[in-house]
Amino acid sequence: MIKKITLIGSGNVAHNLGKAFVLNGFEVVEVYSRTKANAIALADKLDAKYTNNLSEINEESGLYVIATTDNSIEEIAKQLKLKSHFIVHTSGSVSIDVFENKFSHFGSFYPLQTFTKSHQADFKEIPICLEGNNEKNLELLKGLASKLSTKTVELTSAQRQKLHLSAVFVSNFANYMQVIGEELCEEQQVDFDLLRPLIKEVFEKNQKGKAIDNQTGPALRGDSFTMNKHLGLLKDKKELHQLYKLLSDMIQNK
């Protein structure tokens, strides 16, 4: 059973995950960040030790969680002198093969949510996607995850990577569509709040059924008159003009 955890990273995921561990009875022994001030800031919140030197990381933890940017995971793994210890990363897009031949025990612990330091997420409703390099390690991760969340699922690296891609579309890209909407409203001094009931309705419907069954709009109707009007309004915005046409074509082809 895992009781002591070391966090490698001090960003949004590390902040939320570290607090969730502590709130659920686990001890965060140490926090690593290459920036000393960041390591200290998070360690203070978790009543943990800190370091900004990978070679000085403790060897007493039952699990070492790499919660950093995806492109730094491999380099960190190369520097860790913890071959016989249990290492996981929190990435949605990196295979656990990144740990192959470096550690005896490894896997992934991927909480599927968007995180910020200023808001502590409620992990009870967050799916945690797990993978271990063997059945014993997977079971250890399941035991840990079940203390944090009611929704744990075993996924292969390939499945997790496709899920992460899906998350980018439904979260990051969907959010950016609202950024575009805000800017278009601001241009005509229209209150964006007028769109909030519509945004709420769309996402609430998709909680109850398949998104494809809830698709509406001029593209679905084949309403070329309205679409041409919209394209005319975007004639001076080349990228948005192309985006509108591409999305409309995809909806019609679907």
Query: How confident is the prediction along the chain (254 residues), in pLDDT tens digits per residue?
Result: 899 999 999 999 999 999 999 999 999 999 999 999 999 999 999 999 999 999 999 999 999 999 999 999 999 999 999 999 999 999 999 999 999 999 999 999 999 999 999 899 999 999 999 999 999 999 999 999 999 999 999 999 999 999 999 999 999 999 999 999 999 999 999 999 999 999 999 999 999 999 999 999 999 999 999 999 999 999 999 999 999 999 999 999 98
Residues 120 and 113: beta-carbon distance below 8 Å = no
CATH homologous superfamily for the domain 161-253: ProC-like, C-terminal domain (1.10.1040.20)
Strand-pair partners of 107: 88, 132
Cβ atoms < 10 Å from Cβ of 110: 25
Q: How far apart are CA 15 and CA 209, in angstroms?
A: 33
Ranges of H-type helices in the chain: 12-23, 36-46, 73-79, 135-148, 157-167, 174-187, 196-208, 218-221, 224-233, 238-253
How do beta strands 86-89 and 105-111 pair? parallel
CATH of 4-155, one of 3.90.1170.50, 3.40.50.2030, 3.90.700.10, 3.40.50.720: 3.40.50.720
| Domain spans, the chain | 4-155, 161-253
Q: What are phi and psi of 27, to 5 degrees?
A: -100, 120
Q: Which amino acid appears at position 240 of this protein? A: L
